[in-house]
Amino acid sequence: MHHSRTLWRWLAVICVLSFAVLGWVGTEIYLAAPPIPRQVASSNGDVLFSEGQVQRGQQSWLSAGGQQLGSVWGHGSYLAPDWSADWLHREALALRAIWSLKQFGKPYEEIGRENQAALDARLRHEMRANTYDAATGAVTLSPERAQAVREVTAHYTSLFGTDGSLDKLREQYAMQPGSLANPDDLKALPAFFFWAAWSAATDRPGESDLSYTSNWPHEPLVGNKPTAGAGIWSFASIILMLGAIAGMIFFHGRAKEEDDPVPPKNDPLFDLKPTASMRATRKYFYVVIALILAQVGMGIVTAHYAVEGDSFFGIPLGSVLPFIVSRTIHTQFAVLWIATAWLATGLYIAPAISGKEPKYQALGVNVLFYALLFIVAGSTVTGWLGTLQHLGTDFSFWIGNQGLEFTSMGRVWQILLFVGLLIWVLLLGRGLWPALRTPSSSRGLIAMVFLAALCIGGFYATSLTWGKSTHYAMVEYWRWWLVHLWVEGFFEVFATAVIALLFTRLGLIGAATANSAIILETIVFLFGGILGTLHHLYFTGTPTFVIAIGAMFSALEVVPLAMIGVEAWRNYKRSKAAPWVQAYKWPILCFIAVGFWNVVGAGLLGFAINTPIALYYMQGLNLTAAHGHAALFGVYGMLGIGLMLFCLRGLTERAAWSDRLLAPMFWSLNIGLAMMVFMSLVPSGIYQAWASVTKGTWYARSPEFVHSQVMETLVWMRVPGDVVFAIGCACLALFAWRLATGGRGKTVVVGSMAPQRP
């Protein structure tokens, strides 16, 4: 008991200090973010962009699809360009061409190497010079550069408008004509792209060869190359990671772990009788499966757009289901179905653990279900309609699609979801309260489940922190609080604690051992995970020290994964501990698969791109997508499926259970995911990384490269994995159908999961 209290104190200290540092970093990002000029004008007085146009251009891009339509500073989708890199390259080429014609009367390609070298040096000096005047808020450009900006502006105005000459390019970008219907929005859009590119090349005040984005993207024309700090902190983070892993293995080798207890002769949960609120969670899991099918279907469509642009095997699907919509649903549903599985698990186990059913608990579970269903359906429909009808920035921000990856639903829906999550925490707390009040060896685990749930509900408030005109650097700061800390942080703590709690109820793990182990694991995970959030923010207009902190603490996120194999092996042995454990074979195998994908997806592929020097070249490329698919589905998805199967085991007639469907489901999902990642995403990501290193980020994301024969062939290489993966989804759907029909009207009569007094 004393040991557990000490661990709890350490956990509290680490969380307080880590969040204090993360909050301080946020204030520094606010102060050091690239300034937004009130005016961009030429030295002869011609105004290119006026006050407020950069902010409105940001809103315009987000309403046109935002991070589902290309990216800015590397964050977003991968089919259309990174607009900051694309603008920077186009402006540099245009300015150099203007000088060549003006000075030599010939195109740049015809003026000879010596003259080319002189213009190249002049170009780097011109593009890096910071002409922002803090007193007036104006950026002043030379007349020639102003002319180049006007030329690039005309290109983007035509691209996001209806110019028919760019139809082929739009198809390559999977864009629809008239992405921006409002003329003022269309006029303001280039101002935001100019500012994003200007921030990426212009030196910070008092610095040389160091832009506001730490020289991202890689662009040789303007002298953008990795900073010395990016290389130094990359090496330092690798050394720290190796040392920490060695320390953990040494500690684990010296510490004598208690053996698992002798399992009971019979299933302790065989006589568990589901309460009304527990039975009410069953429909949550069927919705989870429906969302999985929808998400996978949208993923197939989205991947195919990388080849045909706006068609699906010749069918002009893009006119009713544009790439923006299909990708939004694909990414949003991925988070929603995983979250729903975990929320439902919490509601299922709460009365089972406490042994008591709070009054009106079933009513609350049912009301919450329909409220969440309304939010999911409503946000999807309004986002879809807003995109198709081009309803503008106000509609997109408040009701439609905000254009931000993984958190795209409109603000009204975010507020409703926040309220729904608070209701979930209340329902979970009511269910767990009797167990929290009763002394038991499992009370620490139960407390961890509730505290993680409280953080899940509370931290979703970070989705409400930015407004329509919030600086883009601060939008990214708060968005990663939500995506990294909410999804990758507290949800994982919650799920891990739930698994440990379930294993103790099955008698496969000692409660006291599990209690200490979970607290220690949470300490190790959050110690690196909270400040590891900053590895997403290396190049988003942040101070340079963000690279140092993000690199070092992100490396520590990998350390706990060094022992995942040991835990997976122990879980496998637990599945063989007694004959009755075979009833939980597939949930346990899902938890073992989580360990595998934690090592491969989160560890191997994650750390491959997380060092500053690697991410400098790979941000916004398919190696990021490879890590995302392997980690999101492999870790969180398999975890959600495992928890769902465990709960469904106690909610349906055992005669309706079919391991014959679960076996192909499990292996098809895992094998299909591996094929998808290693036959398509990883090779294409490596090929893109080569292009980024040799020629620049703009080239790795250009239509010439993305639609090259090699890249399109690698897209087609996803098909075998997609087919195998789809078979797994079909088996899961058939399994659910069998449960829904074969077990209808029947319940398993059981006893209690209530904790026992020690």
**Predicted confidence band at 747 (pLDDT cuts at 50, 70, 90)?**
very low
Q: How far apart are CA 66 and CA 76, in angstroms?
A: 8
pLDDT for res 546: 97
Question: Is 560's pLDDT higher than 70?
Answer: yes
- The proportion of the chain whose per-residue pLDDT surpasses 90, expressed as a percent, equals 72
pLDDT for res 513: 78
Contacts of 431 (CB under 8 A, 6+ apart): 277, 347, 350, 351, 353, 354, 357, 358, 361
pLDDT for res 315: 87
pLDDT for res 21: 97
| 399: Cα within 13 Å, side-chain hemisphere | 12
Residue intervals of the chain classified under CATH 1.20.210.10 are 257-438, 578-743
pLDDT for res 750: 36
Read off the pLDDT of residues 354-397 as tens digits, 9 standing for 90 and up. Answer: 888 999 999 999 999 999 999 999 999 999 999 998 899 999 99
| Range from 235-239, 255-259, 330-334, 374-378 carrying the lowest mean pLDDT | 255-259
- The proportion of the chain whose per-residue pLDDT surpasses 70, expressed as a percent, equals 97
Read off the pLDDT of residues 683-733 as tens digits, 9 standing for 90 and up. Answer: 999 999 999 999 999 999 999 999 999 999 999 999 999 999 999 999 999
Q: What is the pTM of this model?
A: 0.93
Question: Is 751's pLDDT higher than 60?
Answer: no
| CA-wise closest residue to 702 among 716, 690, 683, 688 | 688
Residue, of 134 and 248, whose pLDDT is higher: 134
Read off the pLDDT of residues 66-125 as tens digits, 9 standing for 90 and up. Answer: 999 999 999 999 999 999 999 999 999 999 999 999 999 999 999 999 999 999 999 999
Distance of CA 97 to the CA centre of its chain: 40
Read off the pLDDT of residues 152-172 as tens digits, 9 standing for 90 and up. Answer: 999 999 999 999 999 999 999
Residue 418: strand pairing partners:
none
Residue, of 442 and 366, whose pLDDT is higher: 366
Retrieve residue 180's tokens.
């921006």
Give me the mean pLDDT over the 558-578 stretch: 76
Question: Is 571's pLDDT higher than 80?
Answer: no
Q: Which CATH number fits domain 578-743: 3.40.630.30, 3.20.20.70, 1.20.210.10, 1.20.1250.20?
A: 1.20.210.10
**Predicted confidence band at 524 (pLDDT cuts at 50, 70, 90)?**
confident
CATH architecture of 257-438: Up-down Bundle (1.20)
| Range from 377-386, 434-443, 454-463 carrying the lowest mean pLDDT | 434-443
| CA-wise closest residue to 95 among 178, 152, 56 | 152
CB distance 152 to 91 below 8 Å: yes
Q: How far apart are CA 522 and CA 634, in angstroms?
A: 20
Q: Please state the length of the chain.
A: 758
pLDDT for res 749: 36
**Predicted confidence band at 668 (pLDDT cuts at 50, 70, 90)?**
very high
**Predicted confidence band at 756 (pLDDT cuts at 50, 70, 90)?**
very low
| DSSP of 628-686 | HHHHIIIIIIHHHHHHHHHHHHHHS-GGG--HHHHHHHHHHHHHHHHHHIIIIIHHHHH
CB atoms within 10 A of CB 124: 18
In whole angstroms, how large is the CA radius of gyration of the chain? 27
Read off the pLDDT of residues 477-516 as tens digits, 9 standing for 90 and up. Answer: 999 999 888 877 787 788 888 888 888 888 888 877 788 8
CB distance 417 to 464 below 8 Å: no
Dihedral sign for Cα atoms in the order 633, 635, 638, 641? negative
Phi, psi of 118 (to 5 degrees): -65, -45
Is 48 strand, coil or helix?
A: strand
CB distance 362 to 348 below 8 Å: no
Mean residue pLDDT of the chain comes to 91
Read off the pLDDT of residues 190-248 as tens digits, 9 standing for 90 and up. Answer: 999 999 999 999 999 999 999 999 999 999 999 999 999 999 999 999 999 999 889 88
**Predicted confidence band at 743 (pLDDT cuts at 50, 70, 90)?**
very low
pLDDT for res 565: 67
